Amino acid sequence: MSVLDNVDAATNLAKNNELQLLVFRINDKKGSAYYAINVFKTREVVESKNHYLTQIPSSHPLLEGSIILRGLQIPILDLPAWLGTTLTREEIQRSNILICDFNGVIIGLRIMSAFRVIKKNWNEMHAPDSYRLKEDGVVMNDTRLEDGSLCLILDYEKLLSDVIPQAMVDVEADTANLLEVIIPDKLKNGTVLIAEDSKTAQRHLIQIFNKANINMQLFDNGKKLVDYLVSLGKNASQIPAIITDIEMPEMSGFTVIKTLKANPLTKDIPIIVNSSMTGDNNKREAEILGANGFIDKTKSHNVIPLIVSVMK
Protein backbone atom coordinates (compact mmCIF):
# COMPACT_ATOMS: atom_id res chain seq x y z
CA MET A 1 0.00 0.00 0.00
CA SER A 2 1.29 3.48 -0.88
CA VAL A 3 2.10 5.90 1.91
CA LEU A 4 -0.24 8.34 0.12
CA ASP A 5 -3.25 6.00 -0.03
CA ASN A 6 -5.07 7.22 3.09
CA VAL A 7 -5.34 10.97 2.77
CA ASP A 8 -8.25 13.09 4.01
CA ALA A 9 -9.97 15.56 1.71
CA ALA A 10 -8.31 18.98 1.67
CA THR A 11 -11.59 20.78 2.25
CA ASN A 12 -12.38 18.84 5.43
CA LEU A 13 -8.94 19.62 6.82
CA ALA A 14 -9.22 23.29 5.92
CA LYS A 15 -12.37 23.75 7.97
CA ASN A 16 -10.43 22.71 11.08
CA ASN A 17 -7.26 24.72 10.34
CA GLU A 18 -5.52 21.40 9.65
CA LEU A 19 -3.23 20.00 7.00
CA GLN A 20 -1.62 16.68 6.12
CA LEU A 21 2.08 16.40 5.43
CA LEU A 22 4.05 13.72 3.61
CA VAL A 23 7.19 13.23 5.68
CA PHE A 24 10.32 12.05 3.85
CA ARG A 25 14.11 11.80 4.08
CA ILE A 26 16.75 12.73 1.53
CA ASN A 27 19.31 10.17 2.77
CA ASP A 28 19.51 7.06 4.95
CA LYS A 29 22.20 8.24 7.35
CA LYS A 30 21.41 7.80 11.03
CA GLY A 31 20.01 10.99 12.52
CA SER A 32 19.36 12.54 9.11
CA ALA A 33 16.72 15.24 8.96
CA TYR A 34 13.04 14.79 8.24
CA TYR A 35 11.39 17.00 5.64
CA ALA A 36 7.75 17.40 4.67
CA ILE A 37 5.46 18.69 1.95
CA ASN A 38 1.71 19.23 1.90
CA VAL A 39 0.21 16.01 0.53
CA PHE A 40 -2.04 18.01 -1.79
CA LYS A 41 1.04 19.11 -3.72
CA THR A 42 2.04 15.47 -4.28
CA ARG A 43 0.79 12.84 -6.71
CA GLU A 44 2.78 9.67 -6.06
CA VAL A 45 6.15 8.24 -5.13
CA VAL A 46 7.98 6.11 -7.72
CA GLU A 47 11.20 4.11 -7.51
CA SER A 48 14.10 5.78 -9.27
CA LYS A 49 15.55 2.50 -10.62
CA ASN A 50 12.37 1.86 -12.65
CA HIS A 51 12.62 5.06 -14.69
CA TYR A 52 15.18 6.06 -17.30
CA LEU A 53 16.57 9.56 -16.80
CA THR A 54 17.06 11.59 -19.98
CA GLN A 55 19.60 14.41 -19.74
CA ILE A 56 18.53 17.96 -20.62
CA PRO A 57 21.33 19.91 -22.38
CA SER A 58 22.35 23.33 -20.98
CA SER A 59 20.01 23.02 -18.02
CA HIS A 60 20.38 24.18 -14.42
CA PRO A 61 22.83 21.99 -12.39
CA LEU A 62 19.99 20.92 -10.07
CA LEU A 63 17.86 19.76 -13.01
CA GLU A 64 18.99 16.15 -13.33
CA GLY A 65 17.01 15.40 -16.47
CA SER A 66 13.51 14.11 -17.11
CA ILE A 67 11.56 10.86 -16.96
CA ILE A 68 8.48 9.73 -18.88
CA LEU A 69 5.61 8.78 -16.57
CA ARG A 70 2.20 7.90 -18.02
CA GLY A 71 2.97 9.83 -21.16
CA LEU A 72 4.18 12.96 -19.34
CA GLN A 73 7.73 14.23 -19.53
CA ILE A 74 8.57 15.19 -15.96
CA PRO A 75 11.68 17.20 -14.97
CA ILE A 76 13.57 15.74 -12.00
CA LEU A 77 15.06 18.16 -9.46
CA ASP A 78 17.98 17.15 -7.25
CA LEU A 79 16.50 18.05 -3.86
CA PRO A 80 19.41 16.54 -1.84
CA ALA A 81 21.92 18.71 -3.76
CA TRP A 82 19.76 21.82 -3.18
CA LEU A 83 20.03 21.01 0.54
CA GLY A 84 23.80 20.49 0.37
CA THR A 85 23.79 16.67 0.30
CA THR A 86 25.46 14.54 -2.37
CA LEU A 87 24.08 11.02 -2.94
CA THR A 88 26.36 8.19 -4.01
CA ARG A 89 25.60 6.25 -7.17
CA GLU A 90 24.31 3.38 -5.02
CA GLU A 91 22.07 5.75 -3.02
CA ILE A 92 20.68 7.23 -6.23
CA GLN A 93 19.83 3.70 -7.37
CA ARG A 94 17.91 3.10 -4.11
CA SER A 95 16.28 6.52 -4.08
CA ASN A 96 12.71 7.46 -4.95
CA ILE A 97 11.13 10.27 -6.92
CA LEU A 98 8.31 12.27 -5.38
CA ILE A 99 5.97 13.45 -8.15
CA CYS A 100 4.54 16.89 -7.28
CA ASP A 101 2.08 19.33 -8.76
CA PHE A 102 2.75 23.05 -8.32
CA ASN A 103 0.14 25.22 -10.02
CA GLY A 104 -0.27 22.54 -12.68
CA VAL A 105 3.51 22.28 -13.19
CA ILE A 106 4.39 18.61 -12.67
CA ILE A 107 7.91 17.97 -11.37
CA GLY A 108 9.77 15.14 -9.65
CA LEU A 109 11.83 15.65 -6.48
CA ARG A 110 14.56 13.13 -5.72
CA ILE A 111 14.18 11.83 -2.17
CA MET A 112 15.51 8.74 -0.43
CA SER A 113 12.30 7.47 1.13
CA ALA A 114 8.74 8.51 1.96
CA PHE A 115 8.24 8.03 5.70
CA ARG A 116 4.57 8.58 6.53
CA VAL A 117 1.64 10.97 6.26
CA ILE A 118 0.91 13.00 9.39
CA LYS A 119 -1.95 15.34 10.29
CA LYS A 120 -1.19 18.67 11.95
CA ASN A 121 -3.03 21.79 13.01
CA TRP A 122 -1.58 24.92 11.46
CA ASN A 123 -0.93 26.30 14.95
CA GLU A 124 1.54 23.40 15.40
CA MET A 125 3.58 24.76 12.51
CA HIS A 126 6.30 27.14 13.65
CA ALA A 127 8.25 29.73 11.69
CA PRO A 128 11.14 31.10 13.78
CA ASP A 129 12.61 34.41 12.62
CA SER A 130 15.93 32.63 12.10
CA TYR A 131 14.48 31.04 8.93
CA ARG A 132 13.98 34.53 7.48
CA LEU A 133 17.34 36.11 8.29
CA LYS A 134 19.05 34.91 5.13
CA GLU A 135 17.71 35.94 1.75
CA ASP A 136 18.63 32.49 0.40
CA GLY A 137 17.04 30.49 3.24
CA VAL A 138 15.30 27.31 2.11
CA VAL A 139 13.28 26.41 5.23
CA MET A 140 9.86 28.06 5.71
CA ASN A 141 8.58 26.44 8.89
CA ASP A 142 8.80 23.31 11.02
CA THR A 143 6.84 20.99 13.24
CA ARG A 144 7.52 18.03 15.52
CA LEU A 145 6.89 14.34 14.87
CA GLU A 146 5.40 12.06 17.52
CA ASP A 147 8.85 11.13 18.88
CA GLY A 148 9.89 14.78 19.15
CA SER A 149 11.99 14.78 15.97
CA LEU A 150 12.14 18.08 14.11
CA CYS A 151 10.52 18.07 10.67
CA LEU A 152 11.33 20.89 8.23
CA ILE A 153 8.97 22.31 5.59
CA LEU A 154 10.91 23.76 2.68
CA ASP A 155 10.25 26.74 0.42
CA TYR A 156 9.47 24.67 -2.67
CA GLU A 157 8.52 27.82 -4.55
CA LYS A 158 12.08 29.03 -4.08
CA LEU A 159 13.38 25.72 -5.48
CA LEU A 160 11.17 26.10 -8.54
CA SER A 161 12.18 29.73 -8.93
CA ASP A 162 15.86 28.75 -8.74
CA VAL A 163 15.74 25.83 -11.16
CA ILE A 164 12.73 26.36 -13.46
CA PRO A 165 12.05 30.13 -13.27
CA GLN A 166 9.78 29.98 -16.33
CA ALA A 167 7.32 27.98 -14.20
CA MET A 168 6.87 30.92 -11.85
CA VAL A 169 5.01 34.21 -12.09
CA ASP A 170 5.90 36.52 -14.97
CA VAL A 171 6.21 39.80 -13.08
CA GLU A 172 6.95 41.74 -16.28
CA ALA A 173 3.53 40.80 -17.67
CA ASP A 174 1.84 43.04 -15.12
CA THR A 175 2.43 46.31 -16.97
CA ALA A 176 0.37 45.29 -19.99
CA ASN A 177 -2.46 44.06 -17.77
CA LEU A 178 -2.67 47.40 -15.96
CA LEU A 179 -2.81 49.68 -19.00
CA GLU A 180 -6.59 49.45 -19.36
CA VAL A 181 -7.43 49.11 -15.66
CA ILE A 182 -8.95 52.08 -13.84
CA ILE A 183 -7.66 51.91 -10.26
CA PRO A 184 -10.37 52.94 -7.71
CA ASP A 185 -9.40 55.74 -5.31
CA LYS A 186 -9.79 53.44 -2.29
CA LEU A 187 -7.16 51.11 -3.76
CA LYS A 188 -4.95 53.94 -5.04
CA ASN A 189 -4.91 55.68 -1.64
CA GLY A 190 -5.14 52.63 0.62
CA THR A 191 -2.93 49.72 1.64
CA VAL A 192 -3.59 46.11 0.59
CA LEU A 193 -2.80 43.59 3.34
CA ILE A 194 -1.05 40.37 2.29
CA ALA A 195 -0.54 37.15 4.29
CA GLU A 196 2.23 35.09 2.65
CA ASP A 197 5.00 33.03 4.25
CA SER A 198 7.14 32.25 1.19
CA LYS A 199 9.91 34.82 0.72
CA THR A 200 9.93 33.98 -3.00
CA ALA A 201 6.20 34.72 -3.34
CA GLN A 202 6.61 37.83 -1.17
CA ARG A 203 9.32 39.12 -3.50
CA HIS A 204 7.07 38.61 -6.55
CA LEU A 205 4.16 40.44 -4.91
CA ILE A 206 6.38 43.35 -3.83
CA GLN A 207 7.55 43.75 -7.45
CA ILE A 208 3.98 43.61 -8.76
CA PHE A 209 2.63 46.20 -6.30
CA ASN A 210 5.64 48.50 -6.77
CA LYS A 211 5.08 48.44 -10.54
CA ALA A 212 1.40 49.22 -10.02
CA ASN A 213 2.31 52.01 -7.55
CA ILE A 214 -0.09 50.57 -4.97
CA ASN A 215 0.73 50.33 -1.26
CA MET A 216 0.85 46.92 0.40
CA GLN A 217 1.77 45.52 3.81
CA LEU A 218 3.14 41.99 4.20
CA PHE A 219 2.52 39.57 7.05
CA ASP A 220 4.44 36.29 7.45
CA ASN A 221 1.29 34.38 8.36
CA GLY A 222 -2.48 34.70 8.56
CA LYS A 223 -2.63 35.18 12.33
CA LYS A 224 -0.42 38.29 12.16
CA LEU A 225 -2.69 39.78 9.48
CA VAL A 226 -5.87 39.03 11.45
CA ASP A 227 -4.38 40.44 14.67
CA TYR A 228 -3.37 43.62 12.84
CA LEU A 229 -6.85 44.07 11.35
CA VAL A 230 -8.48 43.58 14.75
CA SER A 231 -6.14 46.24 16.19
CA LEU A 232 -7.46 48.74 13.62
CA GLY A 233 -10.97 48.50 15.04
CA LYS A 234 -13.45 50.53 12.98
CA ASN A 235 -10.61 51.76 10.74
CA ALA A 236 -10.37 48.22 9.30
CA SER A 237 -13.09 49.19 6.82
CA GLN A 238 -10.55 51.51 5.11
CA ILE A 239 -8.51 48.50 3.92
CA PRO A 240 -9.25 48.12 0.18
CA ALA A 241 -8.44 44.39 -0.12
CA ILE A 242 -6.71 41.40 1.43
CA ILE A 243 -4.60 38.74 -0.29
CA THR A 244 -3.92 35.49 1.52
CA ASP A 245 -2.06 32.27 0.82
CA ILE A 246 -3.70 29.01 1.97
CA GLU A 247 -0.71 27.24 3.52
CA MET A 248 0.71 29.24 6.42
CA PRO A 249 1.92 28.52 9.95
CA GLU A 250 -0.25 29.57 12.92
CA MET A 251 -3.38 30.18 10.82
CA SER A 252 -4.25 28.90 7.34
CA GLY A 253 -5.73 31.11 4.65
CA PHE A 254 -9.09 29.34 4.97
CA THR A 255 -9.21 30.23 8.67
CA VAL A 256 -8.27 33.82 7.80
CA ILE A 257 -11.26 34.04 5.45
CA LYS A 258 -13.62 32.40 7.95
CA THR A 259 -12.46 34.68 10.79
CA LEU A 260 -12.67 37.93 8.82
CA LYS A 261 -16.02 37.17 7.19
CA ALA A 262 -17.50 36.44 10.64
CA ASN A 263 -16.39 39.83 12.00
CA PRO A 264 -18.81 42.72 11.24
CA LEU A 265 -15.87 45.16 11.05
CA THR A 266 -14.01 43.15 8.37
CA LYS A 267 -16.68 41.10 6.59
CA ASP A 268 -16.98 43.50 3.63
CA ILE A 269 -13.26 43.69 2.81
CA PRO A 270 -12.62 41.81 -0.48
CA ILE A 271 -10.37 38.76 0.01
CA ILE A 272 -8.28 37.21 -2.77
CA VAL A 273 -6.69 33.78 -2.31
CA ASN A 274 -3.23 33.55 -3.94
CA SER A 275 -2.15 29.92 -3.75
CA SER A 276 -0.21 27.13 -5.44
CA MET A 277 -2.92 24.68 -4.25
CA THR A 278 -5.16 25.29 -7.23
CA GLY A 279 -7.41 22.24 -7.14
CA ASP A 280 -11.15 22.70 -7.71
CA ASN A 281 -11.93 21.66 -4.14
CA ASN A 282 -9.75 24.45 -2.72
CA LYS A 283 -11.29 27.03 -5.04
CA ARG A 284 -14.78 25.85 -4.10
CA GLU A 285 -13.99 25.91 -0.38
CA ALA A 286 -12.54 29.42 -0.62
CA GLU A 287 -15.71 30.60 -2.37
CA ILE A 288 -18.00 28.89 0.18
CA LEU A 289 -16.11 30.56 3.04
CA GLY A 290 -16.58 33.95 1.38
CA ALA A 291 -13.43 34.64 -0.63
CA ASN A 292 -14.06 37.09 -3.46
CA GLY A 293 -11.45 35.71 -5.86
CA PHE A 294 -8.83 33.00 -6.35
CA ILE A 295 -5.60 33.23 -8.33
CA ASP A 296 -2.78 30.71 -8.66
CA LYS A 297 0.73 31.88 -7.91
CA THR A 298 2.00 31.49 -11.45
CA LYS A 299 -0.57 34.10 -12.49
CA SER A 300 0.00 36.56 -9.65
CA HIS A 301 0.76 39.25 -12.25
CA ASN A 302 -3.03 39.40 -12.78
CA VAL A 303 -3.78 40.11 -9.12
CA ILE A 304 -4.28 43.90 -9.43
CA PRO A 305 -6.97 43.63 -12.14
CA LEU A 306 -8.62 40.88 -10.07
CA ILE A 307 -8.71 43.10 -6.97
CA VAL A 308 -10.24 45.94 -9.04
CA SER A 309 -12.90 43.59 -10.43
CA VAL A 310 -14.01 42.36 -6.97
CA MET A 311 -14.07 45.90 -5.51
CA LYS A 312 -16.79 46.95 -7.97
Do 160 and 207 fall into the same domain? no
Structural domains of the chain, count: 2
Do 86 and 138 fall into the same domain? yes
Do 17 and 153 fall into the same domain? yes
| 224-242 confidence digits (pLDDT tens) | 999 999 999 999 999 999 9
| 213-227 confidence digits (pLDDT tens) | 999 999 999 999 999
pLDDT (average), residues 18-22: 89
Do 158 and 179 fall into the same domain? no
| 153-175 confidence digits (pLDDT tens) | 998 888 888 888 877 666 666 55
Residue 9 scores a pLDDT above 70: no
| 41-100 confidence digits (pLDDT tens) | 899 999 999 999 998 887 799 999 999 999 999 999 999 999 999 999 999 999 999 999
pLDDT (average), residues 19-28: 92
CATH value at residue 290: 3.40.50.2300
Percent of the chain with pLDDT over 90: 51
Do 31 and 55 fall into the same domain? yes
Do 206 and 301 fall into the same domain? yes
pLDDT of residue 134: 61
Do 14 and 151 fall into the same domain? yes
More confident residue, 177 or 42: 42
Do 144 and 19 fall into the same domain? yes
pLDDT of residue 99: 95
Domain-ending residue, one of 109, 136, 167: 167
DSSP string, the chain: --TTSS---HHHHHHTTEEEEEEEES--STTPPEEEEEGGGEEEEEEGGGSPPBP-TT--TTEEEEEEETTEEEEEE-HHHHTT----HHHHHH-EEEEEEETTEEEEEEESEEEEEEEEEGGG-B--GGGGSSTT--EEEEEE-TTS-EEEEE-HHHHHHHH-GGGS--GGGHHHHHTT----HHHHHSEEEEE---HHHHHHHHHHHHHHT-EEEEESSHHHHHHHHHHHGGGGGG---EEE-S--SSS-HHHHHHHHHTSTTTTTS-EEEEES---HHHHHHHHHHT-SEEEEGGGGGGHHHHHHHHH-
Do 288 and 197 fall into the same domain? yes
Residue 263's domain comprises: 171-311
Do 42 and 92 fall into the same domain? yes
pLDDT of residue 218: 96
pLDDT (average), residues 248-264: 91
| 114-152 confidence digits (pLDDT tens) | 999 999 998 899 877 776 656 667 888 899 999 999 999
In a domain, 2, yes or no: no
Do 294 and 157 fall into the same domain? no
More confident residue, 105 or 230: 230
